[in-house]
Chain A
Amino acid sequence: MTWLGVVSQLLEIVLALLLAPLLGGWINQWRAWLQNRSAPALLQPYRTLHKLFNKESVLAEHASPLFRGAPYIVFGCMALASAIIPTLSTDLPLSPAADAIALVGLFAFARVFISLAAMDVGTSFGTLGARREMLIGFLAEPALLMVLFSASLISKSTSLTTIVETLAHRDLTIYPSLAFAGVAFTMVSLAENARVPVDNPATHLELTMIHEALILEYSGRHLALLEWAASLKLFAYSCIGLALFFPWGIAEAQAPLALLLAMPVLILKLAIGGVLLALLETLSAKMRIFRVPEFLATAFLLAVIGMLVNILVRA
């Protein structure tokens, strides 16, 4: 553990916490532009968070401590996830504590807690949201794991830093297995982050919402934490995508200069990714909830095919 490693670790966490709402604002802006609406300000998510933090929390009469604790747990999980994904540097002191499988486990941990919290108050919407969230989770989680395994088979490692280092040094050719994995990963990320076509982040239509149904009973600071955690999750997923499929520019050497260079590269990549996500969301329509299992099963199969292709052609 070097001092530079500690610095890049701290930098990563702070950057993730600060940039995550901005990424959400950026995507919302582009969505509005693409849909010919006048866009909200880029900094609107920060204002919303500030407003929510200042409000008092209204808690259901019989809510248990689990309900109050869950936002902090989910927020903590997402912060830890953004700390272990190599976004700026591969020299991270926290990274050996959790590899790709543990990262998926961390997301599952957060999902289980938010679902349990949604069931805690005992309203119909909360439980319905929990059921749908777990439905998406149990299909998306193995698909994400298979995507990560495709990359693991190439780099012969499940350690995220080793994966990034190996993939960044390959020739500029398309790995067929990574192509399959990339499509699967895009589908999984859309589902996991409650984006169109699986869920609509802008809706409160009762019969279709998933993420909003989960957090319906939350208010004030609890809601702020959950919203922040959701944007952190989107940020973390984007960073996983960048680390797996566009790993160039992440600092490897023990040099402060590389670290400094990695930051604008990351922001540029995220900005482009955000625009693409907004485009994707604008071009597709939300599907019925009954179609979601098919969508995710396709992602799962694509990821498994990616692994098989990897073993067949060793690439």
Chain B
Amino acid sequence: MNLLSGNFVDPLTWLCLDWILLLAAGWLLIGVAGVFALRRLTLVARVLFPVGGVFGLALSGLALHSLGAPSEVAVLPIGLPGLPFHFRLDSLSAFFLMLIGSVAAGVSAFAAGYFRKGEGTPPGLLALEYHIFLASMVLVVLADDAYAFMVMWESMALASFFLVTANHRIVEIQRAGYLYLLVAHIGAIGILLCFGVLQANTGDYTFANMRAQQLSPFWASTAFLLALFGFGAKAGIVPLHVWLPEAHPAAPSPVSALLSGVMLKTAIYGVLRIFFDLLASPIWWWGLLLLAVGLATALFGVVFAAVQVDMKRLLAYSSIENIGLLFSGIGLTLLFSAHDMPPMAALALTAVLYHALGHAFFKSLLFVGTGAVLHATGERNLGKLGGLIRSMPWVAWVTLIGVLASAGLPPLGGFVSEWLLLQSFLFAPGLPSALLDMLIPVAAALIALVAALAGYTMVKFFGVIFLGQPREEKLARAHDAGSWERLGMAWLVGGCVVLGLFPVQLIALIDPLTRTLVGAGLAETAGDAGWLLVPVAIERASYGPVIFLLGVAGSFALAFLLVRLLYHGRLRRAAPWDCGYPWQNARMQDTAEGFGQPIRQIFEPFLRMQRELPTPFDAEPRYRVSVGDHFWHWLYLPLARIVDRLASLIGLLQQGRIAVYLLYSFVTLIAVLLVVKQ
């Protein structure tokens, strides 16, 4: 590191890592500045958040620059004596830094226009928590020893906890925050123990030492399971997902965007770092386990997303689905790696990384879109929204692009990663194990089912919020997003479009990363055919999003022109057809519950449903349906009861009288003396 050891006067000699650490420090400074401007909303919103956004842009530029560069290391003499913080910038961290920086830029711009007066935590404090959150995510990704990693991981969890509970006077938000904090810490214990196993009794907790250790299969598998538990709790894999649909919707929308879009990806980073970097040689059943867990998570997430009636909860469940897809891709990568098939592993890993990036953009976009809707209407409940495309067209059209990307439709970003993932499943029959060969098509079928259900969910999400007639009077007066909000959304939507149209160029950027992790890359075949994405050979598969878009747009334009030229453009506006029943109103439209009904019927065993049906004699008939989670009732509540019972047993010791405590001390003393004497 030049900044501390060498010539730090001349910025030209600084390494990328120095600049990135400087940017993280800059974010921290912005946060501190927020403390001094605690209640001055204009200052916080118009200066601090935009500057933070610019830092995000700079971060993504620097990370992009260092994606293919050799790794850089730094040791900062802060932390405990004898335990300095080690940092390292390699391709893996550079990729995730790019993700954090680019998404944070858009979300910060949106946040500049989002926060208003009188929403729980004062704006200056929110700026502090927000920027500590960003900086700690950067440092998590850069950390090169277990100590620094855990410190940053915990500050990330704490900062995000305070952000989640920004509206801390609402009881549900308090509960959501508590649950989040609890699961985050149980997960952190898993990660800590994993590092303990990885250092193999050497007492040296640097990642360099862990990389050098040759663990026996037993200990390697132990480390694998601990890491899966720890990072899985952060990512929200089934059955550790229960906090996610509570905590993500509870936060203010820009924070939800960061939680779902970016923070979940730090868990993916951790998984990749440990499975492919620190644990050098994977065992095949790890991949199978990850694949199974990932598929279960994806299916669970998408089914629950389809039956939600709260727009932010719907998106949170959709994040669980995407995390499942990412985990199944990582599982497939591990399977290929364990069977020594680097080109296939590179294909699957590219799909994972691409999907991580794509999900970061479209999910952040959708969350900030719900934020704009929430501001304009004050409503999160899908049953009270509708018709907003007419009062807030700008948000509607931008969200539509996010919805298309999220539904995995060509030519947008979500489709590219889905396409690559399905391609890697199709190549799987080369695996030398008959059992795996048989399981892979079933897995591919599940992926296809999940993708199709995601389309269903997204049509419901967009259709119920933005289309149809307003279900409430006040919705007609909703206002479109402000200019800062538009700027942020435009940046995020730009990301979705670029990811969709230029996969060849972007995969060339990811190439050095897959080369270091699994020993092969896609770049030379992918770039061969110019604008066509060719993962292996052009006879096997190819996809050209730009030609695809031009094809659809061209036939659209041609059809439009021909119809106009050959016929006419006569148009008349009239009331919609009312089937001869003139008393129809907006409440008679299909609802979000109605749209979820087929899914509830088909997947009934998955869901814990409670229904109240009206009888013909009710004066005010009411229909109520609530969908609960089996895991919560079968796993978490019994667990909580056991903990409660144990705690009350231990509570017997606490009599609250000083004589009893003196007795305890006395007995302990006697016991110790007895032991020492022998």
Contact = CB atoms under 8 A, between A and B. Distances in A.
B576 A123 contact: yes
A225 B556 CA distance: 11
Contacts of A206: 579
Interface in A297-315: 300, 303-304, 307-308, 311-312
Nearest to B563: A221
A98 B463 CA distance: 28
B72 interface: no
Contact of B540 (A97, A127, A139, A157): A157
B623 interface: no
Interface in B515-565: 529, 532, 538-544, 547-548, 551-556, 559-560, 563
B61 interface: no
A53 B529 contact: no
B421 to A, nearest CB: 10
Nearest to B539: A162
A221 B569 CA distance: 9
B570 A57 contact: yes
B390 interface: yes
B282 interface: no
B453 interface: yes
B574 A60 contact: yes
A102 interface: yes
A57 B563 CA distance: 12
Contacts of B541: 99, 101, 157-159
A73 interface: yes
- Could you tell me the dominant secondary structure of chain A's interface residues? helix
Nearest to A139: B452
A124 interface: yes
A102 B393 CA distance: 29
A109 B415 CA distance: 11
Interface string A143-171: 00110010011001111001000000000
A88 interface: no
B456 to A, nearest CB: 5
B393 to A, nearest CB: 8
B340 interface: no
A108 B575 contact: no
Contact of A138 (B409, B456, B542, B552): B456
Nearest to A100: B541
Interface string A254-298: 000000000000000000000000000000000000100100000
B76 interface: no
A69 B558 CA distance: 13
A112 B576 CA distance: 22
A141 B452 contact: yes
Interface string A112-144: 100110011111110110111011011101100
A79 B543 CA distance: 18
A154 to B, nearest CB: 11
A122 B542 contact: no
B463 A127 contact: yes
Interface in A24-62: 53-54, 56-62
A119 B559 contact: no
Contacts of B370: none
A61 B573 CA distance: 5
Contact of A76 (B453, B556, B566, B602): B556
Contact of A61 (B400, B409, B423, B574): B574
Interface of A: 53-54, 56-62, 64, 66, 72-73, 75-77, 79-80, 83, 94, 96-99, 101-102, 105-106, 108-109, 111-112, 115-116, 119-125, 127-128, 130-132, 134-135, 137-139, 141-142, 145-146, 149, 152-153, 156-159, 162, 206, 216-217, 220-221, 225, 290, 293, 300, 303-304, 307-308, 311-312
Given A115-B463, A127-B463, 19 more contacts: A56-B570, A64-B389, A64-B467, A73-B556, A101-B423, A105-B415, A106-B548, A112-B409, A116-B400, A119-B468, A124-B588, A125-B579, A134-B459, A142-B445, A142-B452, A149-B426, A158-B423, A158-B426, A308-B438
21 contacts: A53-B566, A58-B574, A59-B571, A76-B554, A80-B548, A97-B547, A99-B541, A99-B543, A105-B415, A108-B452, A109-B552, A120-B468, A121-B576, A122-B469, A124-B589, A127-B589, A127-B595, A128-B590, A141-B452, A145-B422, A158-B423
Interface of B: 386-387, 389-390, 393, 400, 404, 407-410, 415, 418-419, 422-423, 426, 429, 437-438, 441-442, 444-445, 448-449, 451-453, 455-456, 458-460, 462-464, 467-469, 529, 532, 538-544, 547-548, 551-556, 559-560, 563, 566-568, 570-579, 584, 586, 588-590, 594-595, 597-598, 601-602
